[in-house]
Chain A
């Protein structure tokens, strides 16, 4: 165990592209950690998807040994955090595991919106926030101005902040010295009962779940019986240790103040919820650490194999994914149109996209995803109340006494010049204005109550584009409110395709129905006959388009040299046909379902 005074726990906050991952790499290098691992650029973002999108999805941590100028050797624990609003809760738990945060700011671009939200989270969590000015090697760098910007906008001193270039390895040493000097050493009573905060966990096929933890009090060692205080699950500790750059380094014990891992032959991450407290069975803590909440999926959508025969493959893949991601839920669902599939729950739309992409890439599945929806509450005329997770279960309008939809309290922060834009956007999304607070001379915080349904689709993106990236968003559920809801059905060639139905606010039904019919018309290939595309509410048609009959699909010329080419063309067409689902007499490609999801793009 390392002495408390020799430990520093910190995370790095940065706007996308401002160099978070590059800085992390340099820190590893300076601590001679680099040769211990295979040098994939930016090791902290280890998921292929993360590297590609340049975002961090899962929190990770690494322990570095650093010998400072004062001759002492320190354990530096770097905890990397995800950066999207879907994962706000995970971010807050990662920050709760730290005493300090390094704020990386681009020397030419200055403070950006996305950084602010996380910076305030860090300040609220009581962390010491230490600015670092990056990319000073660029000709456009203006470190002095950026420093005063930090002081003005965020209100933390930046005069002494290191000016570095993570890319070129300039002044990295001063960042390490700053961490040692300015990040407070952790505190914690090692003789007290064990309280270990879970900030992430990961499933490993050989060891079971690896729990990433910050010990707040007490000591954990192999052989102990431990209990997860929220889930109540109990296990015997197999191994504890720290995360080295090259892999796990087992240790005899982890004590208060330290960051490390615990393995205990845990079969599923569902038992090791982010934010839960680990204690011992023998000498349990009297209460868990504050701030735990069970993360609930907020967005649900149907996921079906594009090829109906691949249903079992999809089930296996979801099972494996869930071992690693307890925030995703899935349940069997069957649709007349699509056959067997799953109703899956996600934290938000980004989370949904990530899961979908992982299923397609890592498990090589072709999927059809139905329009995402929130959970509605319906009270029927017979007094029975039900939660509606899928449009398939939405009762007949005649049987509905009261329909309610979930509302969220939304906090929006942006420079004041964008207030007009934000208000307009919020109003379009049925936002109910609460109040507006000036945070300082420049920045404004607006509060709204808004239907969750209006937030989940693309609100974050719309906000970003209307505030030139400076707007930030946070929301939390505040319960259900009565609403005028309708279920919109789509008919192809006169038959309802249940998988295309969805629930929406009545006033939005007409424009939305028109748009969907147009989109479907563009995305469904012509057949040998005319296909009417209709949208209906309770049997009443409210929009219609017609897909004209296919009359020409031929390669007029086909001689010697063209035979191979024509074969390839037909091969492609054949594959496309295989990816289509047939509803009655109409073939619908899986892209058509996607197109319906992306209504707001044009």
Chain B
């Protein structure tokens, strides 16, 4: 039994690798990435990430890695060799669970058969494909370097390569998009039968090209966006997808295990510029600049920014804010035991919203938000957080 208890003692850990390269920048994107194919820079990045993984692996013998996620940027644009090298380095330096979920984000224009076969062989078992919309005109407006036909072909090739767990990203609230257009997109994409779908409302972020002309971009207003969201929720549910997070839907059991860590307070370590971590009680972000990330890792300099130790009281706020994004929601006993704060003030507000149809209670007595509630979750959350701020701890030893 000795090996069993040892195994139980290991804490699960997610790894995130940020690949900051793209063919081109999309008009709305505010993630850190560079639109270039510079071999020297990519080599420098690869060396740095691998060195970083080595360094970090030495600090995490008590962890078992059960999810790995390659995001970006566009990992598929970075190529099979790089991904394989990083994955191999991870396996050499971390204890990776044999059932680990390993996801690679791909764009339709850079998914080659060679890449798919290679990463499949390396153990990647989940692909997230960025489709966004089936409307080529909108794709063009967004600055996406592919058509919908390319996306369909990419999806089919992913299947052919053997992937059983495929997610697609879609967006609503796009320039010129109508409710009917959005419903058609959903219809068409659902014919591909993906296991997982993310539907994101477009958020116009300051600093992006779109931001500078948002007034004339013909963006759907809040009411139309709400209708788009609700119609997606309804359609996906009727086709058997579980609505397990505000913007995420999946076949039963095929939730993104990696992303669930973000919403349920799991630990994760990030690699690559701008990647964030929540590890051993600290939350931090890595340098948001590739050059300083590379030189920082190489010269043993500082690459961590915004290092924060999150006090329990703040974790309690995060619990509400993150957990209520998911179908699991929150529970009174869990809350009180974890944070030693009274649930009553929280319950009072939730009960009020429940009467209005924004909040539900599931069979286990856990509170969660309804689709309508998700749509105004910030309003509900800020009210909950005020109540939490005003509440007195249950224990004087707090």
Interface residues of A (CB under 8 A from B): 528, 548, 550-561, 563-564, 566-567, 569-571, 573-574, 576-578
Contact = CB atoms under 8 A, between A and B. Distances in A.
B317 A567 contact: yes
A287 to B, nearest CB: 63
A554 B382 contact: no
B223 A548 contact: yes
Given A528-B358, A551-B223, 14 more contacts: A552-B223, A553-B377, A553-B379, A554-B378, A555-B377, A557-B247, A558-B325, A559-B262, A560-B16, A560-B268, A561-B274, A564-B283, A567-B321, A577-B382
Contacts of A578: 386
Given A552-B226, A563-B318, A570 B378 contact: yes
Contacts, number: 96
Contacts of A553: 375-379
How many chain B residues sit at the interface, stated as a range, is: 35 or more
A563 B314 CA distance: 12
A555 B378 contact: yes
A314 to B, nearest CB: 22
Given A558-B263, A567-B318, A552 B375 contact: yes
B26 to A, nearest CB: 14
B276 A552 contact: no
Contacts of A554: 201, 246, 374-378
B378 A573 contact: yes
A560 B276 contact: yes
B275 interface: yes
A551 B386 contact: no
B203 A559 contact: no
Contacts of A560: 16, 262, 268, 270, 275-278
Contacts of A561: 274-276, 285
A561 B306 CA distance: 11
A574 B318 contact: no
A566 B285 CA distance: 15
A308 to B, nearest CB: 14
A560 B200 CA distance: 16
B156 interface: no
A313 to B, nearest CB: 19
Contacts of B262: 558-560, 563
B382 A574 contact: yes
B382 A559 contact: no
Contacts of B283: 563-564
A557 B170 CA distance: 12
Nearest to B317: A567
Nearest to A548: B223
Contact of A573 (B275, B356, B382): B382
A560 B379 CA distance: 22
21 contacts: A550-B376, A551-B226, A552-B375, A553-B375, A554-B246, A554-B374, A555-B378, A556-B201, A557-B247, A558-B262, A559-B259, A560-B268, A560-B270, A560-B278, A561-B285, A564-B283, A564-B308, A570-B321, A570-B378, A571-B385, A577-B382
Contact of B386 (A559, A569, A577): A577
B225 interface: yes
Contacts of A567: 317-318, 321
A166 B360 CA distance: 73
B247 A574 contact: no
A548 B224 CA distance: 13
B318 to A, nearest CB: 7
A586 to B, nearest CB: 14
B383 interface: yes
A552 B229 contact: yes
A267 B318 CA distance: 53
A569 B317 CA distance: 13
Nearest to B285: A561
Given A563-B283, A573-B382, A578-B386, A557 B203 contact: yes
The 10 lowest CB-CB distance pairs between A and B, nearest first, are A551-B226, A556-B201, A561-B276, A560-B276, A573-B382, A552-B222, A574-B382, A553-B378, A552-B226, A553-B376
B297 interface: no
Contacts of B381: 570
A445 to B, nearest CB: 48
B80 interface: no
Contact of A551 (B222, B247, B259, B378): B222
A548 B223 CA distance: 10
Interface in B272-295: 274-278, 283, 285
Contacts of B246: 554, 556, 558
A567 B389 CA distance: 14
B51 interface: no
Contacts of A559: 259, 262
A570 B321 CA distance: 9
Contacts of B356: 528
Nearest to B230: A551
B284 to A, nearest CB: 10
A128 to B, nearest CB: 59
Contacts of B263: 558
B379 A550 contact: yes
A524 to B, nearest CB: 14
